[in-house]
Amino acid sequence: MNDMRVVERDVDINELKMKARDVDVFYGDIHAIKNVDVDIEDKTVTAFIGPSGCGKSTFLRCLNRMNDTIDICRVTGTITLDNEDIYDPKVDPVQLRAKVGMVFQKPNPFPKSIYDNVAYGPRIHGLSSNKADLDQIVERSLRRAALWNEAKDRLNEPGTGLSGGQQQRLCIARAVATNPEVLLMDEPCSALDPIATAQVEELIDELRSQYSVVIVTHSMQQAARVSQKTAFFHLGELVEFGETGHIFTNPDDPRTESYITGRIG
């Protein structure tokens, strides 16, 4: 893992985008997340790593209130976006999700054309005033997701007809099209082959220039490659959170060291 320091780690100048304090999550009687504090900085890739079932995806879904769609899930503590509490009753979770976009583990394009997939968010939120405007948003989003060259001639074909890696980039384009401030990615490469993974990782690094990206991953190499900050979760607790280089080379907690060296997890 000598490539860890390849990425420039100039994160100190970025300001805070999201802040989580004392967050606990319960699924019915199960205490899934225990007292987690995390700071997510703007224009930074933050990676959540940890063994399966450690709660990293659950915590990710708290950040855009996707857990609201699960009946038995209960979240306590405060999570703020730009210093506003997102669990405040005044906040509309639907509006919040437009600002905090999400890309899922399995590519899930809608059974519509490629164009309609990307235009879905802008149409719902009224981001375009006319067709030309919308065309432009679609093109920009597809370009940003590095899919434009492959998709520009087949915009009217169904999105489900693309390959797995293309579908996932389409989902990223779809999320980017709504102009989010934060982009959450839940194991975005776990269903992809190494070449598609490399493309998506490259894309994540580019997205960092405009968005704050939070990525959950099972691959520690991936976390090391794409992220500047890393949080290690274990059994629902946040064991360690800090700069990626620091976590992977010189972790403070023995559990972190055991995990990244392959002794637990």
Partner 1 sequence: MPLLWTLTIVLLLGAAGYVLGRRRAIASAGGDVRLLHSLPGYYGTNVAMFTIVPALLVLSVWMLIQPMIIQSQITAMISDSAIEAAGSRDLVMTDVRRVANGLDSAIAEGGLTEDEARALRTDSSDIRARLAETGVALGGDVTPEVLNAAQQYRTLSRTGNLLLSATVLVLAGLGLGYAYSRTHQEFRARNAVERAILSILMLASTIAILTTVGIVFSMLFETFNFFQLYPWQDFFFGLEWRPSFEGGSDLGLIPLLWGTIYISIIALLVSVPIGLFAAIYMAEYSSKRTRSIVKPLIEVLAGIPTIVYGLFALITVGPMLRDYFAEPLGLGTSSSSVMTAGIVMGIMLIPFISSLSDDIINAVPQSLRDGSYGLGATQSETVKQVILPAALPGIVGAVLLAASRAIGETMIVVLGAGAAARLDLNPFEAMTTVTVKIVGQLTGDTDFSSPEALVAFALGLTLFVITLGLNVFALYIVRKYREQYE
Give the residues lining the site for partner 1 (CB under 8 A). 64, 66, 69, 71, 94-99, 101-104, 106, 108-112, 120-121, 124-125, 158, 160, 171, 174-175, 178
- At its nearest, how many Å lie between partner 1 and the CB of residue 260? 30
- Burial class of 52 by CB neighbour count within 10 A (0 to 12, 13 to 18, 19+): exposed
Q: Which residues, 6 or more positions from 178, have their beta carbon under 8 angstroms from its beta carbon?
A: 98, 101, 121, 122, 125, 127
- At its nearest, how many Å lie between partner 1 and the CB of residue 171? 7
- At its nearest, how many Å lie between partner 1 and the CB of residue 99? 8
How many residues are given for the chain?
Answer: 265
- At its nearest, how many Å lie between partner 1 and the CB of residue 183? 10
Give Cα 232 to chain centroid, integer Å.
15
Nearer Cβ to partner 1, position 101 or 236?
Answer: 101
Nearer Cβ to partner 1, position 96 or 224?
Answer: 96
* CA-to-CA separations, 54 to 34, 59, 85, in angstroms, rounded: 10, 10, 25
Nearer Cβ to partner 1, position 12 or 131?
Answer: 131
Nearer Cβ to partner 1, position 173 or 224?
Answer: 173
Nearer Cβ to partner 1, position 117 or 230?
Answer: 117
- At its nearest, how many Å lie between partner 1 and the CB of residue 42? 20
Q: Which residues, 6 or more positions from 34, have their beta carbon under 8 angstroms from its beta carbon?
A: 24, 236, 237
